[in-house]
Amino acid sequence: MMLSVVDYTAENAALEFVTSLHETGFGVLKNHPIQKELLESIYKNWAGFFASDEKFDYQFNVETQDGFFPITVSETAKGNSLKDIKEYFHYYPWGQVPAELKQELADYYQQANTLAATLLDWVEKHSPADVSAKFSIALSEMIAQSERTLLRILHYPPITGDEELGAIRAAAHGDINLLTILPAANASGLQVQLKDGTWYDVPGDFGCLIVNIGDMLQEASGGYYPSTIHRVINPEGQDKTKSRISLPLFLHPNADVVLSERYTADEYLQERLRELGVK
């Protein structure tokens, strides 16, 4: 598997990055334009949020899917029976969020969206002609001003030993959306599944950005870009006592964007949410 770290500022960055996405479903970037200080501040402030009971005032809205998802209702990955060991908050610019935490999330959301548009332009530019011909509109247009793009702040609590047998932080899954932008978390654990079924640690020190293809781009590209299965495993030894925070941005097309002959973005999403058991 060729999953090397691509220097965003290098001359051949776009081609290398898109090659990695095609071959592995993942790409890792260093020297990208998202501010590290902003990420550090978000991680710190949200560790505080998850540690306080204030979170229960932001219970998620079933219809609109914004707000806090406690560990008791956390997702069950498609095809899995155990719940993940995680709690999370869904931020949308129009959704609920504690006032004192809003500005930096809005800043991050904006920076990451801008970067995502550039990366989608890279994908478009370096796709074979028969693949780009399938896209109903430019990929970066699909997500432009989309109200559906979701920033998830994830908190994986320390492992206590009381977890359900076999449960892990995030069971093997593919992402539903077009593309996911994920700053390297404050702890390891993210793995991708190779074609032979074995698991491989995603490289990336703090400061790297991990990007992966979601099911919607796999669908739209006729499978040329694979939505690779990934998971987050539990820590061992000393690290059990540490929680883990991560911050994936799930780029979602506008609802009426045509993904393929079979689906619009909205039809695809509704089908997947039902399968996840959160809707």
Binding site for ligand AKG (CB under 6 A): 152, 154, 170, 175, 182, 185, 190, 230, 232, 246, 248
Q: Is 175 in the site for Fe ion (CB under 5 A)?
A: yes
Residue number with CB closer to ligand AKG (131 or 184): 184
Residue number with CB closer to Fe ion (16 or 175): 175
The entry of ligand AKG, Fe ion, none that residue 134 binds, CB within 5 to 8 Å by partner kind: none
Sequence-distant (≥ 6) Cβ neighbours of residue 174 within 8 angstroms: 78, 214, 215, 218, 227, 228, 229, 230
Residue number with CB closer to ligand AKG (232 or 251): 232
Distance of closest approach, residue 173 Cβ to Fe ion, in angstroms: 6
Can you list the positions of beta strands (E) in 108-189?
150-156, 170-173, 179-183
Distance of closest approach, residue 26 Cβ to ligand AKG, in angstroms: 11
What's the distance, CA 273 to chain centroid?
A: 15
The entry of Fe ion, ligand AKG, none that residue 232 binds, CB within 5 to 8 Å by partner kind: ligand AKG
Residue 37 has, within 13 A of its CA and on its CB side, a CA count of 0
DSSP code at position 161: S
Residue number with CB closer to ligand AKG (115 or 185): 185
Distance of closest approach, residue 252 Cβ to ligand AKG, in angstroms: 13
The entry of ligand AKG, Fe ion, none that residue 246 binds, CB within 5 to 8 Å by partner kind: ligand AKG
Residue number with CB closer to ligand AKG (142 or 176): 176
Residue number with CB closer to Fe ion (14 or 77): 77
The answer to whether the Cα torsion of 262, 266, 268, 274 is positive or negative is: negative
Distance of closest approach, residue 132 Cβ to Fe ion, in angstroms: 25
User: Rg of the chain over CA atoms, in angstroms?
Assistant: 18
Nearest-angstrom CA–CA distance, 184 and 178: 19
Q: Is 66 in the site for Fe ion (CB under 5 A)?
A: no
Please provide the distance, in angstroms rounded to a whole number, between the alpha carbons at the two ends of the chain.
36
Using the contact rule CB under 5 A, the part of the chain among 106-114, 154-162, 174-182, 198-206 near Fe ion is 174-182
Distance of closest approach, residue 133 Cβ to ligand AKG, in angstroms: 30
Q: Which residues of 76-92 are buried (b: 16+ CB within 10 A; e: fewer)?
A: bbeebeebbbbbbbbbb
The answer to whether the Cα torsion of 131, 127, 213, 137 is positive or negative is: negative
Distance of closest approach, residue 84 Cβ to ligand AKG, in angstroms: 9
Q: Is 84 in the site for Fe ion (CB under 5 A)?
A: no
The entry of Fe ion, ligand AKG, none that residue 221 binds, CB within 5 to 8 Å by partner kind: none
Can you list the positions of beta strands (E) in the chain?
5-7, 26-30, 67-69, 87-91, 150-156, 170-173, 179-183, 190-193, 199-201, 209-213, 230-232, 244-246, 249-251
Distance of closest approach, residue 174 Cβ to ligand AKG, in angstroms: 9
Residue number with CB closer to ligand AKG (127 or 180): 180
- Applying CB under 5 A, the residues found at the interface with Fe ion are 175
